[in-house]
Amino acid sequence: MKMRMQTFGEIEVGDERYDYDLVIEQGKISKRRKKPSKIYRERYGHTPLSVEETIPWHGKRLFIGTGMYGKLPVMPEVYDMAEKKHIKVVALPTPELCDKLLKLSASDINAVLHVTC
């Protein structure tokens, strides 16, 4: 799937550009709804990825783009849930993750991509 981090705060997926965090579920793109995780913001200094959000729990891998500089906190409960579901979590800075996802077909991509920090 064609994907690259354009600049801080912008990502290109296919022929579209987005200036907000994305959830990709078996190739279907939607905006990340992080409101359920905002209650943890004070604890982490940033809104983390939590299990309260809509996470694409399909396939064998969950890809998490942790932002331009890898600063998105991922709560331990996300890793715990993935383990229970026998899903491997691949969490990398978003530009690095985009390079890896280029080799996969859209239907094999289940990801949460952070586009800032």
Q: Minimal CA–CA distance to 49: which of 24, 66, 25, 29?
A: 66
pLDDT tens, position by position, 40-97? 999 999 999 999 999 999 999 999 999 999 999 999 999 999 999 999 999 999 999 9
Q: Domain ranges in the chain?
A: 3-114
Q: Percentage of the chain with pLDDT > 90?
A: 92
pLDDT digits (tens, 9 = 90+) for 26-37: 989 999 999 999
Q: How far apart are CA 95 and CA 97, in angstroms?
A: 5
3-state secondary structure of 84: helix
pLDDT averaged over the chain?
Answer: 96
Q: Which CATH architecture has domain 3-114?
A: 3-Layer(aba) Sandwich (3.40)
Is pLDDT at 6 greater than 90 in this prediction?
Answer: no
pTM: 0.96
DSSP-derived secondary structure letter, 73: -
